[in-house]
Amino acid sequence: MSRKKKHRPGVRDKPDRRSAEQTAAWLCAPDAYDTLVCRGYTSLSQNPEICAAVDTIARLIGSMTIHLMENTDEGDVRIRDELARKVDIHPNSTMGRSNFIHWIVKTMLLSGDGNAVVWPRTKNGLLQELLPVPAVRVAFQPDGWGYRVLVDGAPHQPDELLHFVINPDENEPWRGTGYRVALKDVAHNLKQAAETEKGFMESKWKPSLIVKVDGFTQEFASVSGRKRLLSEYISTDTAGEPWIVPAQQVDIKEVRPLSLKDLAIDSMVQLDKRTVAAILGIPAFVLGVGEFRRDEWNN
């Protein structure tokens, strides 16, 4: 007479080791990895079209001269002193004015989400250097009608730092929002187009010729037999050498595989590039779409 094990409430049965191993093996399988892991996110700084547009804007602004002006009764007059020289020529000891302004513009448009912070280092009340603060070290904290800037967690008043803003937020006008939301879908479409083009170009299912043979012939039914057919009748040592094939068993036809134009990839990419150019306010030909226009570039 066999005994039946009594099930105690609140105690789970020991899991089947074989089932656990099968689950772990499935999670480690390549198919499961492609199913579970989302690999669709791409930052704006990794998108070639957006990087090209941002670098164009930053390069143009970085090449402009910074003038220190003074309001007088006779109009605005340019001031030429050590402060103007510091800001316009060597604001930072490790970079020139062009690279310094390039960093500010690029940080505002990409990693800073519309914000760029610069730390002015002073000595005895005189400006010594302008230090760019990376966006990952900066945070903003609302403070009544104003705000505080947190650099490495330490709070600072806005008048202690230089805070550059683009595309101000509706509820917090002192905070920039950048163009991440507006460019997110476009960047995803451009990445998908690039992946589609890469997969299409690397696909092995694009034969330029199809050779139709008699499948019931034992010689051509196996892989080795088909390779023997190619080596004996089609493979040649000299370009342009004619092929001699048996007419009863072999029929050669030309096949034109699908191109990117057939997939409408080119038209969609051009539309997305025009959208990027419109959002960032640059001519579309900077991204390779349309024709160059001198007046539009100068403007």
Q: Mind listing the pLDDT tens digit for each residue in 109-153?
A: 888 888 999 999 988 888 889 999 999 999 999 988 899 999 998
| Residue 196 host element (H or E) | helix 180-202
The CA dihedral of 255, 260, 264, 268, to the nearest 10 degrees, is 180
Dist CA 187 CA 27 (whole Å): 30
Stretches in the chain below the pLDDT threshold 70 = 1-42, 199-209, 213-221, 233, 236-237, 239-241, 244, 247-249, 253-264
Task: State the Cα–Cα distance between residues 264 and 109, nearest whole angstrom.
Answer: 30
201-244 residue pLDDT tens: 666 656 666 777 665 566 666 777 777 777 776 776 676 667 76
Give 242's DSSP letter: P
pLDDT at 23: 45
Mean per-residue pLDDT over the chain, rounded? 77
* pLDDT of 163: 94
Determine the pLDDT at residue 25. 47
Q: The pTM is what?
A: 0.65
pLDDT of residue 33: 43
Looking at residue 261, its pLDDT comes to 67
Distance of CA 81 to the CA centre of its chain: 42
